[in-house]
């Protein structure tokens, strides 16, 4: 079915198509009497042996949806009904912000890739917290991750306060947190990946985290463009701050070996999809081997097939996430991966 409608979708602006599709999915799930049953019957994964327990959380299967797809926590239930084992929402910031000027998302079909420069467009953490509270009241079994960031206007020297605000307001409605300092689309954000500012943010979050009776896992999402020396620093930071794990990787600023034309390649933003697959896997393998698998890794980047997901896990990932592959391959990809992992 998806192969039939995909050429039509790809004729229109990718951001507009995204919202058209997810809104129709939500309507079908919420309004149409048999919608939820039809979605689950078609896509939900009911395969024994897929359960995973990672950083103290039980996942019904190891295939999740990466952050960026549902920035405001509006579509958690219908997306979960497609078979995802967990849904990561955000990136969310303390205050609402419109993001960068449109157009800001671009397809590269020849490379099976996307370039985006969304810029953390979201409705703010208060809106997300309220929506997730309603989701969790109805569906406490859906595993939800909260991907948190800073507002564009917040100076880097004050960034940790933005992360703390988001952390506190989402604490009761998410199962784990992801600290996003690796998006290339907020000016200066990646500077926070440097050792000292990153430790300051993570230590402040851990202090707040352990003031609660039941602390939540905190993960760090890193860029694929880090050098081995910087990855060594990441391993050291995880050990020092005692965060739960790493998500590897975010989008890349690299444009090497692309097949698309120069005009498409020249668009500013983060590149995702097949071109980032190899580097993402390299980062996972490096972190796993150099740390002696001291912490869990969620693998994301260029997963367009079951073989791609298995490659990530063989490299050291405990779980995987989809985004661009989900757009190019459709929702059937989730079940194909799960079947291959049994």
Write down the mean pLDDT value for the chain.
95
Distance between alpha carbon 320 and the CA centroid of its chain, in Å?
10
Mean pLDDT of 232-254: 97
Q: Closest by alpha carbon to 221, among 301, 116, 310?
A: 301
- With a cut of 90, say whether residue 190 has pLDDT above it: no
Of 80, 182, 183, 280, the active-site residue reads: 183
* Residue that the structure tokens 């390649």 belong to: 265
| pLDDT confidence of residue 245 | 98
Stretch 25-31: mean pLDDT: 91
Is it the case that residue 189 has pLDDT exceeding 90?
Answer: no
Provide the pLDDT confidence category of residue 240 given band limits of 50, 70 and 90.
very high
**Confidence at residue 38, expressed as pLDDT on a 0 to 100 scale:** 87
**What CATH class has 2-252+259-341?**
alpha beta
Share of the chain above pLDDT 70, in %: 100
Contacts of 174 (CB under 8 A, 6+ apart): 89, 132, 144, 145, 146, 216
Higher per-residue pLDDT: 166 or 182: 166
Q: Quick one: pLDDT band at residue 193, thresholds 50, 70, 90? A: confident
Mean pLDDT confidence for 168-177: 98
CA end-to-end span of the chain, whole Å?
25
Distance, CA of 223 to CA of 230 (rounded, Å): 10
What pLDDT, on a 0 to 100 scale, did the predictor assign at position 2?
86
- In tens, the pLDDT along 66-104 reads 999 999 999 999 999 999 999 999 999 999 999 999 999
Q: What confidence tier does 44 reach under pLDDT thresholds 50, 70, 90?
A: confident
At 226, is the pLDDT very low, low, confident or very high (cuts 50, 70, 90)? very high
84 CB-near residues (< 8 Å, 6+ apart):
61, 63, 64, 65, 334
Residue 183 known to be catalytic: yes
Return the domain boundaries, the chain: 2-252+259-341
Task: Name the strand (E) or helix (H) holding 339.
Answer: helix 332-341
Q: Tell me what pLDDT residue 204 has.
A: 97
Q: Which of 35-44, 85-94, 258-267 has the lowest mean pLDDT?
A: 35-44
- In this predicted structure, the answer to whether residue 3 has a pLDDT above a threshold of 90 is no
Tokens of 109: 């079909």
Query: How does pLDDT run across 112-165, given as a tens digit for each residue?
Result: 999 999 999 999 999 999 999 999 999 999 999 999 999 999 999 999 999 999
Supply the DSSP symbol for 157.
G
Q: How would residue 187 be classed by pLDDT, with cut points 50, 70 and 90?
A: confident
| Residue percentage of the chain with pLDDT more than 90 | 89
Whether the per-residue pLDDT at 32 is higher than 80: the answer is no
Residue range 238-249: mean pLDDT, rounded? 97
Confidence of residue 179 (pLDDT cuts 50, 70, 90): very high
pLDDT of residue 50: 94
Summarised one tens digit per residue, pLDDT across range 162-172 is 999 999 999 99
Name the pTM for this structure.
Answer: 0.96
Q: pLDDT-based confidence at 286, cuts 50/70/90?
A: very high
Task: Output the pLDDT for position 219.
Answer: 98
Q: How far is CA 217 from CA 36, 42, 64, 174, 331, in A?
A: 31, 32, 16, 10, 28
């Amino acid at each position: 079915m998806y192969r039939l409608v995909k050429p039509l979708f790809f004729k229109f602006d990718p951001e507009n198509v995204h919202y058209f599709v997810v809104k129709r999915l939500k309507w079908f799930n919420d309004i149409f009497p048999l919608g939820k049953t039809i979605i689950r019957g078609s896509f939900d994964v009911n395969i024994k042996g897929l359960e995973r327990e990672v950083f103290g959380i039980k996942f019904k299967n190891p295939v999740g949806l990466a952050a960026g797809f549902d920035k405001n926590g509006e579509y958690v239930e219908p997306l979960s009904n497609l078979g995802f084992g967990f849904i990561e929402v955000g990136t969310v910031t303390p205050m609402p912000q419109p993001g960068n000027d449109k157009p800001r998302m671009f397809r590269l079909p020849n490379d099976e890739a996307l370039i985006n420069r969304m810029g953390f467009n979201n409705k703010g953490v208060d809106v997300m917290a309220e929506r997730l509270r309603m989701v969790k009241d109805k569906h406490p079994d859906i595993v939800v991750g909260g991907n948190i960031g800073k507002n564009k206007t917040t100076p880097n020297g004050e960034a940790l306060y933005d992360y703390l605000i988001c952390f506190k307001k989402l604490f009761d409605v998410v199962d784990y947190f992801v600290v996003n300092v690796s998006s290339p689309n907020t000016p200066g954000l990646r500077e926070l990946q440097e050792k000292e500012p990153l430790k300051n943010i993570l230590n402040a979050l851990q202090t707040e985290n352990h003031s609660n009776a039941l602390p939540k896992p905190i993960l760090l999402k890193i860029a694929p463009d880090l050098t081995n020396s910087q990855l060594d620093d990441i391993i050291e930071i995880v050990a020092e701050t005692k965060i739960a794990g790493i998500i590897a990787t975010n989008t890349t600023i690299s444009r090497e070996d692309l097949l698309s034309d120069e005009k498409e390649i020249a668009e500013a933003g983060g590149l995702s999809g097949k071109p980032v697959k190899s580097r993402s896997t390299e980062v996972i393998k490096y972190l796993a081997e150099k740390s002696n698998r001291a912490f869990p890794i969620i693998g994301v980047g260029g997963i367009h097939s079951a073989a791609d997901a298995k490659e990530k896990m063989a490299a050291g990932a405990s779980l995987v996430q989809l985004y661009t592959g989900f757009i190019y391959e459709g929702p059937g990809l989730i079940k194909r991966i799960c079947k291959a992992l049994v």
